[in-house]
């Protein structure tokens, strides 16, 4: 694979990931959010695969398969099943206009703060997009009130960190990569289980209802 | 000898798997305590041998051996007490025993791993193992606490992950990129200073969330007040300190690279804010389990100040404080759990005159509170004074003075509430709740051991001094 082809794939994948993250900020329906996560997962796997082919690294190709299986398969599946009670949950806290403006501002912030990261690794021109994903994930966690939307925010945040890792240093050592992927998967499964229990005890999944514990 | 390093991780993993399979068996209840004993024994062995042992990604130096010993000691107090409580709302049973084993394995891996990435994976695994333990009661409050705990805990720790990713990215290009702590600290590895500084700061901030330092502490009182008593004891007594251990390891990188001033500033600010938050909320606290949780925030603040002082004395005192605070806090949560069973209420105003009505609970609660307040002869007195002195000597006299004032406010808060519960006049409300039969004396043995250990730990400081100094020196020499 030539250098230009790799960089085209990496840049396209990064753009796709940023686009799906921005779209998350104004989509209300949980099934649309989960579909966007699948696209994001595939883009991340494609990016890792392209980097692996260029470096001729078997390790990175294995990681690419792992990323595809977890981020585009198991995670969205686990998240989607949360909504089986109602096939599609609407998150009324989503404000499309505010979401888009927020995402635009955060992307600009990401480009500003990532100055010291330029010049690291191969596909560094896309590193700010990874940081933008991290910030947009935070934004979703802070502004959304539905448990499922918050979970989506957490996954976006994690995809952003993974993207920064792959673009700046070709990913972490394999042991750490495996452990981290397993951890994130388990956290999402646990939060999904808690969402089910929350629906049983609180009659809904609005995190605003969680206000019994205070001083 | 390297096999010893694997025991605290493999034994609980195997026991946990066995317990998941045969959780109905009677011996399954003993599995977490057995694990704690193995961890304690390993800690003692490593401390006594006093040499660096390593095997693959694991490595035990003075700091990790000592913290492993603390994990074992606190876990023995908390789990032994949970076992003898004989009360089903206090103890944890069934599959929870497997989760406890996994929790202990994860903490051991966090302190024994040489690789910063593996350490992060283990810290995140502690959140996973404790999530269901916090929400075990299944009540609205428990689910709320578990949700907040997992969301805030994993988001905070995700920030630390971004930090570790950046530390790795700061490695110069080539095959030698590493996250091994010893490789990074034994010689200048040529990390890109601006990227390393950003990574170190993010990692410290992220782990500080897990350590319960203000202003990232909001999950802590909820989780620690809703979890079953032995789990609260373990989380307050030692999980917070494991997160602090991660901070100390990351901070040590600042010596060779950059960000020393930034990290010290973060720790001192976090420590002072924690003391302030704890002082303000303990004065007006109405729930005694939350009171204990805020006291943990206070003590993590003290430890952060000790670490932030950057001196050998401050670090050694902070490490000894981890042990003294850990064993007492574990015992106190167990006593609080028993008071809850006896009175049926966790509100401070519903409990009074414990010394007269239930001396078996009142006296340990009062003694434990004295230890948390830092009365001599408890070791917390000596370590708190040492940390204030270390701050003053390091040219941080104003911080030391401010911390002293805040400690007095915390003192007033705890003393007022605990005295109302133990020696205060009996309320009418307290009479509504019939107190159950006196428990057997054996049930109080682990509590007495925990509080007693804190009382004699100042004497233990002599045999422990070499390991404490070695640990503090190995960390501060890198810092300078």
Instruction: Answer whether residue B167 shows pLDDT above 90.
Output: yes
Q: Is residue A198 part of a domain?
A: yes
B158 or A145, which is more confident: B158
d(CA A15, CA A7): 12
Query: For the segment B197-227, what is each residue's pLDDT rounded down to a tens digit?
Result: 999 999 999 999 999 998 999 999 999 999 9
Enter the DSSP assignment of B59. E
| pLDDT at residue A116, rounded to an integer | 81
Which of residues B383 and B172 earns the better pLDDT score? Answer: B383
Q: How far apart are CA B210 and CA A116, in angstroms?
A: 27
Higher-pLDDT residue of B102 and A29 is B102
Partner residue facing B165 (CB), from A165, A213, A215:
A165
Q: Looking at per-residue confidence, does A56 or B271 come out higher?
A: B271
Which residues of A are less than 8 Å from B115 in CB distance?
Answer: 173, 175-176
Would you place residue B429 in the very low, low, confident or very high pLDDT band (cuts 50, 70, 90)? low
Instruction: Say what the pLDDT of residue B455 is.
Output: 87
Tell me if A211 is assigned to some domain. no
Report the range of poorest mean pLDDT among A167-171, B62-66, B194-198, B328-332.
A167-171
Name the residue among A154, A165, A183 with its Cβ closest to that of B121: A183
Q: Say if A105 falls within a structural domain.
A: yes
State mean pLDDT over A17-23: 94
Which pLDDT score is estimated for A117?
82
pLDDT at B16 over 50: yes
On the question of pLDDT at B90 being above 70, the answer is no
Q: Does B242 touch chain A (CB under 8 A)?
A: no
Q: For chain B, give the percent of residues with pLDDT over 70.
A: 94
Q: Which carries the bigger pLDDT value, residue A204 or residue B391? A: B391
Q: Please give the tally of structural domains in chain A.
A: 1
* Residue A71, C-beta contacts closer than 8 angstroms, at least 6 positions apart: A37, A40, A41, A44, A45, A155, A159, A162
pLDDT at A105 over 70: yes
Whether residue A210 is contained in a domain is answered as no
Q: How many alpha carbons fall within 13 Å on the CB side of residue B270? A: 33
Q: Domain of residue A175: give its range.
A: 3-83+94-203
Q: What is the ipTM of this complex?
A: 0.93
What pLDDT score was predicted for residue B85?
Answer: 59
- Which pLDDT score, from 0 to 100, does residue B93 have? 57
What is the model's pLDDT at position B94?
A: 65
Asked, for residue A209, whether it belongs to a domain, the answer is no
Return the number of other C-beta atoms located less than 10 Å from residue B346's C-beta.
Answer: 19
Domain assignment present for residue A215? The answer is no
Residues 6+ apart with CB under 8 A from B459: none
Measured on CA atoms in the order B1, B5, B9, B12, is the torsion positive or negative?
A: positive
Task: Provide the domain count of chain B.
Answer: 1
pLDDT score recorded for residue B219:
93
* Cβ within 8 Å, pair B118-A121: no
What does the angle CA B118 – CA B120 – CA B124 come to, to the nearest 5 degrees? 120
What's the number of CA atoms in the CB half-sphere (13 Å) around residue A26? 12
Query: What's the pLDDT at B87?
Result: 46
Residue A208 lies in a domain: no
CB A129 within 8 A of CB A110: yes
State the pLDDT at residue B88.
Answer: 44
Tokens of A194: 């808690």
What gap in Å lies between CA A13 and CA A75, rounded to an integer? 19
Output the pLDDT for position A40. Answer: 96
Question: Is the Cβ pair A154, B143 closer than 8 Å?
Answer: no
Chain A positions in Cβ-Cβ contact with residue B143 (cut-off 8 Å) = 194, 197-198, 201-202
Token look-up 């095959």 returns B175
Which stretch, A32-36, B123-127, B472-476, has highest mean pLDDT?
B123-127
Domain containing residue B371: 3-479
**Residue located via tokens 């918050």:** A150
At residue B344, does pLDDT exceed 60?
yes
pLDDT of residue A26: 84
Predicted local confidence at residue A108, as pLDDT = 93
B56: left (phi over 0), alpha (psi -120 to 50) or beta: left
The CA distance from A83 to the nearest CA of chain B, in Å, is: 17
Interface probe for B, chosen from A119, A123, A213, A214 (most Cβ of B below 10 Å), is: A213
Is A77 in CB contact (< 8 Å) with chain B?
no
pLDDT-derived band at A154 (thresholds 50, 70, 90) equals very high
Does residue A154 sit within a domain?
yes
Mean pLDDT over the full length of chain B: 89
Chain A hits for B141, Cβ within 8 Å? 212-213
Please say if the pLDDT value at position A101 is more than 70. yes
Instruction: Say if the Cβ atoms of B281 and A116 lie within 8 Å.
Output: no
Contacts of A108 (CB under 8 A, 6+ apart): none
Q: Which residues of A touch B168 (CB under 8 A)?
A: 165, 168-169, 172
d(CA B270, CA B265): 8
B463 pLDDT above the threshold of 60: yes
Give residue A213's pLDDT.
80
Report chain A's mean pLDDT, rounded to a whole number: 87
Q: What is the pLDDT of residue A70?
A: 93
The answer to whether the beta carbons of residues B229 and B333 sit under 8 Å apart is yes
CA atoms within 13 A on the CB side of A17: 38
Choose among B158, B168, B169: nearest Cβ to A158: B158
Q: Which chain B residues in 253-312 lie under 8 Å from chain A, judged by CB atoms?
A: 281, 284-286, 290
For the segment B350-359, the average pLDDT, to the nearest whole number, is: 88
pLDDT tens readout for residues B107-128: 999 999 999 999 999 999 999 9
Which region among A38-42, B61-65, B279-283, B352-356 has the lowest average model confidence (pLDDT)? B352-356
**Burial letters B228-254, b for 16+ CB under 10 A, else e:** bbbbbbbbbbbbbbbbbbbbbbbbbbb
Whether residue B158 and residue A141 make contact (CB cut-off 8 A), yes or no, is no
């Amino acid at each position: 694979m030539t250098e230009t082809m790799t960089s085209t794939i990496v840049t396209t994948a990064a753009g796709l990931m940023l686009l799906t993250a921005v779209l998350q900020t104004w989509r209300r329906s949980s099934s649309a959010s989960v579909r966007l996560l699948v696209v994001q997962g595939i883009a991340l796997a494609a990016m890792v695969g392209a980097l692996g082919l260029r470096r001729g690294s078997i390790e990175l190709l294995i990681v690419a398969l792992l990323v595809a299986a977890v981020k585009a398969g198991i995670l969205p599946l686990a998240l989607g099943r949360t909504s089986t009670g109602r096939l599609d949950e609407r998150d009324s806290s989503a404000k499309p206009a505010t979401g888009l403006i927020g995402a635009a501002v955060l992307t600009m912030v990401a480009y500003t703060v990532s100055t010291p990261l330029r010049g690291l690794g191969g596909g560094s021109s896309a590193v700010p997009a990874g940081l933008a994903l991290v910030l947009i994930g935070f934004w979703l966690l802070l502004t959304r009130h539905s448990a499922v939307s918050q979970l989506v925010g957490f996954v976006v945040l994690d995809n952003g960190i993974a993207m920064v890792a792959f673009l700046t240093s070709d990913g972490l050592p394999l042991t750490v990569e495996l452990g981290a992927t397993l951890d994130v998967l388990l956290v999402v499964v646990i939060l999904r289980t808690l969402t089910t229990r929350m629906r049983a005890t609180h009659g809904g999944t609005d995190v605003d209802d969680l206000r019994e514990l205070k001083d | 000898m390297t096999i010893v390093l694997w025991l605290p991780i493999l034994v609980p993993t195997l026991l946990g798997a066995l317990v998941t399979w045969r959780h109905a068996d009677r011996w399954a209840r003993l599995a977490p305590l057995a694990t704690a004993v193995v961890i304690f024994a390993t800690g003692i062995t490593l401390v006594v041998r006093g040499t660096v042992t390593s095997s693959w990604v694991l490595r035990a130096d003075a700091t990790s051996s000592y913290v492993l010993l603390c994990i074992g000691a606190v876990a023995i107090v908390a789990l032994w007490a949970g076992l003898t409580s004989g009360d089903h709302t206090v103890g944890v049973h069934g599959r929870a025993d497997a989760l406890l084993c996994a929790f202990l394995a994860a903490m051991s891996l966090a302190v024994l791993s040489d690789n910063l990435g593996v350490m992060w994976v283990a810290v995140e695994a502690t959140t996973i193992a404790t999530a269901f333990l916090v929400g075990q009661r299944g009540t609205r409050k428990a689910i709320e606490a578990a949700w907040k705990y997992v969301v805030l805990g994993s988001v905070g720790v995700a920030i630390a992950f971004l930090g570790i990713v950046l530390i790795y990215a700061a490695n110069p290009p080539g095959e030698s990129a590493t996250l091994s702590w010893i490789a990074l600290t034994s010689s200048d590895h040529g990390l890109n200073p601006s990227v390393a500084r950003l990574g170190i700061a993010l990692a410290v901030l992220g782990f500080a969330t897990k350590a319960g330092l203000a202003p990232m502490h909001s999950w802590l009182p909820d989780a620690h007040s809703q979890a079953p008593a032995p789990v609260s004891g373990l989380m307050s007594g030692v999980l917070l300190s494991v997160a602090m251990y991660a901070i100390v390891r990351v901070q040590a990188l600042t010596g060779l690279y950059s960000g020393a001033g930034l990290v010290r500033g973060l720790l001192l600010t976090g420590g002072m804010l924690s003391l302030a938050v704890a002082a303000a909320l303990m004065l007006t606290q109405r729930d005694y389990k939350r009171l204990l949780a805020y006291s943990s925030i206070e003590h993590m603040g003290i430890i952060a100040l000790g670490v932030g002082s950057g001196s050998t004395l401050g670090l050694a005192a902070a490490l000894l404080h981890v042990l003294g605070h850990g064993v007492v806090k574990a015992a106190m949560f167990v006593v609080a759990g028993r008071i809850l069973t006896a009175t049926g209420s966790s509100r401070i105003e519903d409990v009074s005159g414990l010394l007269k009505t239930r001396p078996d609970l009142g006296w340990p609660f009062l003694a434990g509170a004295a230890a948390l307040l830092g009365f001599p002869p408890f070791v917390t007195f000596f370590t708190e004074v040492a940390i204030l002195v270390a701050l003053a000597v390091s040219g941080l006299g104003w911080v030391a003075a401010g911390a002293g004032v805040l400690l007095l406010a915390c003192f007033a808060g705890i003393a007022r509430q605990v005295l109302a519960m133990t020696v205060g006049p009996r309320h009418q409300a307290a009479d509504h709740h019939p107190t159950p039969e006196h428990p057997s004396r054996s049930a109080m043995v682990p509590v007495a051991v925990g509080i007693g250990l804190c009382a004699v730990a100042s004497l233990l400081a002599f045999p422990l001094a070499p390991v404490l100094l070695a640990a503090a020196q190995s960390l501060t020499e890198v810092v300078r």
